[in-house]
Amino acid sequence: MQRQQRFNLFLDYFTKNFPEPETELHYSSPYELLVAVILSAQCTDKRVNIVTPPLFERFPDPESLAASNAEEVFTYIRSISYPNNKSKHLVGMARMLTEQFNSEIPTSVEDLQKLPGVGRKTANVIASVIFNQPAMAVDTHVFRVSRRLGLVPLTAKTPLAVEKALLRYIPKLLVHKAHHWLILHGRYVCTARNPQCFQCPLSPFCKYFATNVKIDVFHS
């Protein structure tokens, strides 16, 4: 099967069955989403959603967070992975927002990456979710699912290589949705361990299923 055909089948399925996907992080403003995404690095969305309500109550905007310090922020996010580093990043991010961006979240991936704690993946998430830009954030789920399905070649061994390969075939208007489709599929169906291949609606055109699962069944 040609790669373009796999993309067409993937996009067709989700467009019909899950047309309006959303992030599972809870937020009510671009600032809150930025904070939540920074906290979500190597941490579950469920844990982040537990931590952020009191954090946002104490720091409802960049100004209040910028006026604080890492020690105080730490007390709110101590149960998050890497709380020491993330506390420093959040305060630094808020201070740069207030001092250089008039407390407004930058719209470009390049400017977003200038903020402490914001790498390419986080910047792409903000650009995609808040501004509906054709930015593809590649986390562990996107990386795994896109390679298993055969949407990207196995030679794409870095997040950036996977990002570029996906953007070649996904229409710009669907990139921000495809990001969520891949993440959610990886989170609940195409899991790292014990993927639910026989319950997966994508198995008819999945390269992993064709080359691994069917063979295992045949020889069992």
Say whether both 15 and 34 belong to one domain: no
**CB–CB of 86/117 below 8 Å?**
yes
Judged by DSSP in three states, 177 sits in helix
**CB–CB of 16/38 below 8 Å?**
no
pTM exceeds 0.95 for this model = no
Task: Answer with the one of 82, 101, 129 that is the final residue of a domain.
Answer: 129
Task: Answer with the one of 129, 157, 189 that is the final residue of a domain.
Answer: 129
Say whether both 112 and 175 belong to one domain: no
Say whether both 108 and 157 belong to one domain: no
Say whether both 122 and 34 belong to one domain: yes
Average pLDDT over residues 30-53: 96
Task: Answer with the one of 80, 97, 129 that is the final residue of a domain.
Answer: 129
pLDDT of 219 above 60: no
Confidence band for 214, pLDDT divided at 50, 70 and 90: low
Say whether both 112 and 196 belong to one domain: no
Average pLDDT over residues 59-69: 98
User: Six-digit token pair at 108?
Assistant: 């470009």
Say whether both 42 and 114 belong to one domain: yes
Residue 75 belongs to domain spanning:
30-129
Please identify every residue annotated as catalytic: 121, 139
Give exposure, 42-78, as e/b (b: 16+ Cβ within 10 Å): ebebeebbebbeebbeebeebeebbebebeebbebbe
Q: How many domains does the chain contain in total?
A: 2
Can you give the pLDDT at residue 212?
Answer: 85
List Cα–Cα distances, 131 to 126, 208, 214, in angstroms: 7, 33, 41
CATH number, domain with residue 9: 1.10.1670.10
CATH number, domain with residue 112: 1.10.340.30
pLDDT of 35 above 80: yes
- Positions at the binding site for [4Fe-4S] cluster: 190, 197, 200, 206
Q: Which residue shows structure tokens 């373009």?
A: 4
pLDDT of 215 above 70: no
Say whether both 169 and 124 belong to one domain: no
Say whether both 35 and 124 belong to one domain: yes
pLDDT tens, 99-137?
999 999 999 999 999 999 999 999 999 999 999 899 999
Say whether both 45 and 100 belong to one domain: yes
